Structure 1
Amino acid sequence: MAEPVFTGGCQCGAVRYSWGAALVSVPGAQLAWTCGRPAEFRSSAIVARGFCASCGTPLHMKEDGDPIFEIAIGTLDNPELAPPTEQAGVEAELSWFKSMPDLPRQRTQDYRTLEDLAKLRSLQHPDHDTRDWPPSKSSP
């Protein structure tokens, strides 16, 4: 992974609305798309938001004229390599945000039945390169 310019969360309304997750800022010259190129949507006069045209996953935000891409950390092949180091846009932080570490925690299997879990089949691109995408309907 390229050396990040920023890793963290942004509390501003625009980022919260578009993906609500941590992000990593990477110079475009150091960025490699491994499965096609993102489709883009102009979310304002100066911002383009990239997403996967096959599955709709939000991927990035980029301001016109800025070489930096803001990438959703969860879309990285190894998100553990980009732990948050700071927060931005804190003036728009939601009042309950700081209480999140104190909330009860549960695993997916704690609230889904085994039958439900067996039905779950992600249609999003996996966190590794694939020869063919999207998978055929008969793929597991």
Structure 2
Amino acid sequence: MQIMTGGCQCGRVRYAARIDSDAAYLCHCGMCRRATGGVSIAFRNIARADVTWTTEEPDRYRSSAIAQRGFCRTCGTPLTFEYPDSDMMDLTIGSFDDPARFVPDQNVSIETILPAWLDCSHLPGTTLADHASTRDRWLATTGKLPD
């Protein structure tokens, strides 16, 4: 069991979570796509009792007849997917401070998967440092590139 931390982009909502494995999953449902603006979302399923909100709890909205989602009202970061009647919840992998630990072990809602986005490893890539317009804005504004 390891304690991992995470939170939203602006830092208003922070958490500590007891993690017992590297397992995570990708959800491809249309509701998750719309809620996040992404082609899928990576989640870690975890017992609610294993999550401690260390600053303040996320804001929540009822995203469907059966579920709610936690987010930061200040910066908009999606943080959770929750069935209100369950002792389990999902934390977004991207909200962990060290998301590289996790490894996807399944796809959920495969009937709505967007196949073209499953494996993009064949596409050319650019580092942030080589993407001139973004790099130059960061350097002019903050003097450094973000982590």
TM over 0.5: yes
- SS of 2:81's partner is strand
Shift of 1:104: 1.3
TM-score normalised by L of structure 1:
0.75
- SS of 1:64's partner is coil
Q: Among 55, 77, 81, which residue is 1:61 paired with? A: 81
Q: Among 112, 118, 123, which residue is 2:139 paired with? A: 118
Shift of 1:80: 1.9
- SS of 1:23's partner is strand
Shift of 1:5: 9.3
Alignment of 1:12-27 (within 5 A): 12-19=29-36, 20=38, 21-27=41-47
Q: Among 56, 61, 65, which residue is 1:41 paired with? A: 61
Contact 1:4 1:24 in 2 (8 A): no
Cα RMSD of the aligned pairs, angstroms, is: 2.3
- Give deviations 1:78-100, integer Å, cap 9, x for gaps: 21222212211111111312341
- SS of 1:61's partner is strand
Q: Greater strand share, 1 or 2?
A: 2
Task: Give me the identity figure in percent.
Answer: 29
Contact 2:23 2:103 in 1 (8 A): no
Equivalent pairs, count: 122
Distance in 2 between residues matched to 1:48 and 1:98, nearest whole Å: 26
Q: Runs of 4+ in structure 1 displaced over 4 angstroms?
A: none
Instruction: Identify unmatched segments of 5+ residues in structure 1.
Output: 122-126, 128-140
